Structure 1
């Protein structure tokens, strides 16, 4: 009798273990099915503007939200077009390009400001002696061929009764700033958080005219995180989850700049580690800056810049600023 009971007990135990294994397997399968593949396209090569996203991926913040995020480079199509067409779910853009896109009925929406204030401006080596927009006359500006460049130069120079027509504007393509200014360029438009910090590391002194020093309307959001209108309307939960993870990533980068920099370096080993760490130290306090929370966007900023673009002939019609951005997906 004892042998019979023992056999029954062993059989019962085996069945129980088998059922538990099946249950765990089914649970794992369910979890895998719930994970959503998401594509994020950058605006340019990876840099410290993107650190919070790489942190969110490395530390599992996206995974916690049920997202498997692939970070892509834009290629020739550009981030706005890839996001608008649904080839990417999220993207990195800037207020100036998104404003132009929406005027052309490209359905891209900004869902978070990565940096609160515009950190860009016109830079030149100190020995060029360009200390104000008036000094641009007779000099060569190296740009990328966008109409907004001449409009911004004109806007700044007019404040000092200078003439933008006296600036030689050339397209320097993908030339490195430091190579270009040694060769045939006097000044260029840079983001100080990357190129300016690199100049510091090189021991090269720059003269810098920040756009925000000359016009409040030029203090626009650059860069921003975007998605398309279909995602906002039909997949709002995914957008909410993505921004929850991104917010956590950028907050980590604000609080722990050096560790955040290490995550970017590990993900993109081709980057110069010294530059990444120095840039991150400079940029981290500027992500949130004086806003009540990271990612916050204000209607006045969108309206002011669109008004400036319209005044300078860069837009064919007024922008519906309220439709161009939303704060609804930022964590409270």
Structure 2
């Protein structure tokens, strides 16, 4: 009798806790790189239990470049991921089953950094130089587009494999002449190199393509659209909350990821907010794509790099899962 009562009691507790306590769907999200400020909203939402309450058991996995995350999601190895949109454009052209659901960087975060004392004054001086960045990095993949836009022969530079954490040291030691990096960490480089720092953002060089975006495996989306909708709703809400107040988001990030400097991450977030803001994210919805821009990015990739199997760029993305009442602050 006692055994029956205890079983009934346990069932009552589970019922009070709600369905998410025992029926959460497992989802894997592969980041583009190791976690930093731009991923803080994900950790914040997870720490607040927002994903769990939506019936999602989210596993966040560090990435090794946009090309890797796009491939992993495209083959179904991960349900969700974050990848640079031009990389995703190419991946889909190679058969990856992916769709973009929310843009994080409405403006390209890509930039090149160098030391003015090296004699480099701008991209026209890149020829014959060494660029340091990781293999699989979106900047390396998109280099032909940047080169052609700035009048360079894409083959005129050589690439050196440098981990994200070693970029500044590589530039300082002069083992490379140039490094590519996101605008997020601009302040760190200014402090390190001062007036000797040279910088060329891609967005002012005619290559302002969409940056990191949330992507989903197409087959998974077709199978579980409601779960995907819940995930996007929580994620969009989390990014909006972090734009409003980054302090709890930073706390959630540093509690989950070791070795991060809070001051550096705060600086990064201020730059990230600039990259998140454009007419579409402020007037339509936070995270929304503009169809004309997606088409232009597709055409840029197609003309300057090539797409293995052409497709309609309208199939690459969807704004249908976003709440249009949630907008980026102007």
Tell me which interval the TM-score lies in, with the shorter structure as reference length: 0.7 to 0.9
Paired residues for 1:279-318 under 5 Å: 279-290=268-279, 291=281, 292=283, 293-318=285-310
Q: 1:272 corresponds to which residue?
A: 261
Aligned residues: CA RMSD? 2.8
Determine helix, strand or coil for the equivalent of 2:40: helix
Q: 1:155 corresponds to which residue?
A: 148
Which structure would you say has the larger Rg? 1
Q: 2:212 corresponds to which residue?
A: 223
Distance 1:108 1:72 in 2: 18
Q: 1:331 corresponds to which residue?
A: 323
Distance 1:96 1:207 in 2: 25
Determine helix, strand or coil for the equivalent of 2:150: helix
Paired residues for 1:110-189 under 5 Å: 110-144=100-134, 148-158=141-151, 163-165=153-155, 167-174=156-163, 176-181=166-171, 182-189=173-180
1:47 matched to 2:40? The reply is no
TM-score between both structures, scaled by the size of structure 1: 0.83
1:66 matched to 2:34? The reply is no
Aligned residues: 311
Distance 2:314 2:70 in 1: 18
Contact 1:258 1:281 in 2 (8 A): no
Go from structure 1 to structure 2 and tell me whether the alpha carbon gap of 1:20 and 1:254 turns closer, same or farther (over 3 Å shift): same
1:197 matched to 2:187? The reply is yes
Q: 1:102 corresponds to which residue?
A: 92
Q: 2:232 corresponds to which residue?
A: 243
Deviations 1:216-239 (A, max 9, x none): xx2222101011111221201111
Contact 1:110 1:326 in 2 (8 A): yes
Go from structure 1 to structure 2 and tell me whether the alpha carbon gap of 1:208 and 1:308 turns closer, same or farther (over 3 Å shift): same
TM-score between both structures, scaled by the size of structure 2: 0.84
Distance 1:112 1:149 in 2: 21
Distance 1:75 1:56 in 2: 23
Q: Which runs of 5+ in 1 are unaligned?
A: 1-15
Distance 2:51 2:21 in 1: 14
Distance 2:114 2:312 in 1: 36
Contact 1:82 1:88 in 2 (8 A): yes
Q: 1:7 corresponds to which residue?
A: none
1:164 Cα offset (Å): 4.9
